[in-house]
Amino acid sequence: MKRRIGCLHAHYANIEYIEQAFSKVEAELLHFVDPALVYRVSSDDSFSLPDAERKVKEQIEWIAQARVDAILITCTNYVALLQDDQLAVTVPVIKIDEPFFDLVSHREGNQILLFTNPATVEGTMGRLQEYASAIGRRPDIEVRVIPDTFELFMQGNREQYKNVLAASIRELLAADQGKAISVAQLSMTEAARSVSEETGVAIGNPLDALAPYVENALFK
């Protein structure tokens, strides 16, 4: 039986990533896109944290009314704002970073976690540490933000964004030999995969473990 998954995105480009990830999964994907929240959180001082949390709650509850079997949140910023105990929905809400957290938490040795959007760092790292602690892990993670790049993605300059990000990852591989590298945001996956194919070095990303995780949640 084909299941219906409602996907909440902060940018239209994420639709393509999710469609690729679920290309072999028996599921119908319904896409809901709202880039305005990310803009307001990062640039509008009058837009408070409770305002942002309330907006995400409204979006999730709206999607749930579309008769979906699960809701997938693909934006780490949205995930960080989500207050699970305040949601009035009965369907599973799947956060894109949970299977990624499992990957990162089980890696041994020093590792670098890359971001391009500074606004997602605090929330993502808080949830990662909480997840790792719950499964008895203490990953050794160094956070690095690649500055002045996320704006390119939000403005639709995806190729330039990918190229700048790929160059930064190559530099890190050369300078920090021996450290595992992962990218924390869905928008960074394309560049990470490109460098990984080019160099033969595995670069962790939020997309690779996602489809098996969702399939297990829906069909097992």
Instruction: Determine, yes or no, domain membership for 214.
Output: no
**Mind listing the pLDDT tens digit for each residue in 158-188?**
899 999 999 999 999 988 777 899 999 888 9
- Quick one: tokens of 148? 């002045």
Instruction: Determine, yes or no, domain membership for 167.
Output: yes
CA distance 116 to 119: 9
**Same-domain check for residues 19 and 65:** yes
What is the pLDDT at residue 207?
Answer: 85
What is the pLDDT at residue 143?
Answer: 95
Q: pTM for this structure?
A: 0.76
End residue of a domain, out of 68, 91, 114: 91
Domain count within the chain: 2
Which residues in the chain come in under a pLDDT of 50?
A: none
What is the pLDDT at residue 220?
Answer: 59
**Same-domain check for residues 199 and 109:** yes
**Which residue has tokens 């995105």?**
9
What is the pLDDT at residue 30?
Answer: 94
Residues in the chain: 220
Boundaries of domain holding 16: 3-91
Residue 41 half-sphere exposure toward CB, CA atoms < 13 A: 24
